[in-house]
């Protein structure tokens, strides 16, 4: 079992660090927020008083931070103090350019690194059922695998440095676009007098099928576990969906890819968020498409 530093003990990082402890690792944790440090301590994380003291003496450092800027500044701060040979794993969802930058910083300082953003949300973080999408050298990924296995169920090697982030934003661009398309179809069906169940029974087994339909259906009824049955409590918050769609469009612009559906989904979620729905599940966008979202 390894001695691991975990930086960023928020909604995702808190339970992920707790799962490393449950798996028998020795975990040193740090977050800027005192209340989160206390919560992590209650889960068996050895809370450190600073970033640098958390990483010292560790064989691996995991970061789970809000955005690229945070990851770059945290890695820049701890890299000179980390133990030589430590393996660096960033599980945050960040822009591909920042991911390349931190891989390069790690490489220049003589460290192995992996980008390993996740899918599965807070439920997956709590139940250790996350999927990790990984980018980095095969040797670094092999070293990261036992650590990731303590926090998740599926580990996908996506390619070289930054490929995990690329896979994550491409996946979530599909998700945002298919959710809008699925919600639109239910709204059209309503106006045509079609029941939700009838449309679901057809589309869930026909060519309109997608995860947005079968696992995350945006209307209550057909899929009992979907947020639609729980007042659109996330789930996956609209603010996070918009963040990922923005990352996809930023990446598309940087490589000259044409992604009009992703761009439109981003605009629709920007509007929905501006109307005050940042904290609702992203499937709640159906209310705006009906013209009934309110602020």
Which of 5, 6, 13, 232 is the binder for ligand NAD (CB under 6 A)? 13
Dihedral of the alpha carbons of 68, 72, 73, 77, in degrees to the nearest 10: 150
Minimum distance from residue 206 beta carbon to ligand NAD (Å): 30
SS3 content of the chain, % helix, strand, coil (to 5): 50, 15, 35
Q: Does 133 bind ligand NAD (CB under 6 A)?
A: no
Three-class DSSP category at 177: helix
On whether the CB atoms of residues 203 and 231 are closer than 8 A, the answer is no
Residues 6+ apart with CB under 8 A from 42: none
Return the residues of window 72-91 that contact ligand NAD according to CB under 6 A: 74
Q: Does 41 bind ligand NAD (CB under 6 A)?
A: no
3-state secondary structure 103-163: HHHHHHCCCEEEECCEECHHHHHHHCCEEEEEECCHHHHHHHHHHHHCCEEEEEEEECCCH
Q: How many CB atoms lie within 10 A of CB 164?
A: 28
Catalytic residue among 84, 153, 168, 243: 168
For the question of residue 84 being annotated catalytic, the response is no
Site stretch for ligand NAD (CB under 6 A), options 8-16, 82-90, 199-207, 221-229: 8-16
On whether the CB atoms of residues 83 and 130 are closer than 8 A, the answer is no
Dihedral of the alpha carbons of 212, 218, 220, 223, in degrees to the nearest 10: 0
Q: Does 31 bind ligand NAD (CB under 6 A)?
A: yes
Which of 19, 39, 93, 131 is the binder for ligand NAD (CB under 6 A)? 93
Q: State which residue, 92 or 150, has the beta carbon closest to ligand NAD.
A: 92
Judged by CB under 6 A, the number of residues near ligand NAD is 26
Minimum distance from residue 240 beta carbon to ligand NAD (Å): 5
| Residue showing the smallest CB distance to ligand NAD in the complex | 10
Minimum distance from residue 212 beta carbon to ligand NAD (Å): 16
Please report which helix (H) or strand (E) contains residue 13, including its range. Answer: helix 13-22
Which of 6, 30, 75, 232 is the binder for ligand NAD (CB under 6 A)? 30
Minimum distance from residue 107 beta carbon to ligand NAD (Å): 22
Q: Does 37 bind ligand NAD (CB under 6 A)?
A: no
Q: Does 32 bind ligand NAD (CB under 6 A)?
A: yes
Q: Does 64 bind ligand NAD (CB under 6 A)?
A: yes
Name all contacts of 289-292 with Cβ < 8 Å and 24+ positions apart: 289/180, 289/183, 289/184, 289/187, 290/187, 290/190
Bridge partners of residue 119, in order along the sequence: 131
Q: Does 12 bind ligand NAD (CB under 6 A)?
A: yes
Return the residues of window 201-260 that contact ligand NAD according to CB under 6 A: 236, 240, 243
Contact set with ligand NAD (CB under 6 A): 7-13, 30-33, 36, 51, 64-66, 70, 74, 92-93, 118, 121-122, 236, 240, 243
Residue numbers annotated as active site:
168
């Amino acid at each position: 079992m390894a001695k691991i530093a975990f930086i960023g003990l928020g909604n995702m990082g808190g339970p992920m660090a707790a799962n490393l402890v449950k798996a028998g690792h020795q975990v040193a944790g740090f977050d800027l927020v005192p209340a989160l440090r206390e919560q992590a301590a209650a889960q068996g994380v050895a809370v450190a008083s600073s970033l640098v003291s958390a990483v010292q003496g560790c064989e691996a450092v995991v970061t789970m931070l809000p955005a690229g800027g945070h990851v770059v500044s945290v890695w820049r701060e701890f890299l000179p103090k980390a133990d030589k040979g430590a393996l660096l794993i960033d599980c945050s969802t960040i822009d591909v350019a920042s991911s390349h930058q931190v891989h390069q910083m790690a490489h220049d300082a003589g460290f192995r690194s992996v980008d390993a953003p996740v899918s599965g949300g807070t439920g997956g973080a709590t139940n250790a059922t996350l999927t990790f999408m990984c980018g980095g050298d095969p040797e670094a990924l092999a070293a990261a695998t036992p650590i990731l296995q303590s926090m998740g169920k599926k580990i996908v090697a996506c390619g070289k440095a930054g490929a995990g982030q690329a896979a994550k934003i491409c996946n979530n661009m599909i998700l945002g676009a298919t959710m809008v398309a699925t919600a639109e179809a239910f709204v059209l069906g309503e106006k045509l007098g079609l029941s939700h169940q009838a449309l679901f029974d057809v589309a869930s087994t026909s060519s309109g099928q997608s995860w947005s339909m079968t696992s995350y259906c945006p209307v209550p009824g057909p899929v009992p576990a979907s947020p639609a049955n729980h007042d659109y409590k996330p789930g996956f918050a609209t603010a996070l969906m918009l963040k990922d769609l923005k990352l996809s469009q930023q990446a598309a612009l940087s490589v000259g890819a044409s992604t009009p559906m992703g761009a439109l989904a981003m605009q629709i979620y920007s509007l929905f968020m501006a109307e005050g729905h940042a904290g609702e599940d992203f499937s709640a966008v159906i209310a705006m498409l009906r013209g009934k979202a309110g602020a």
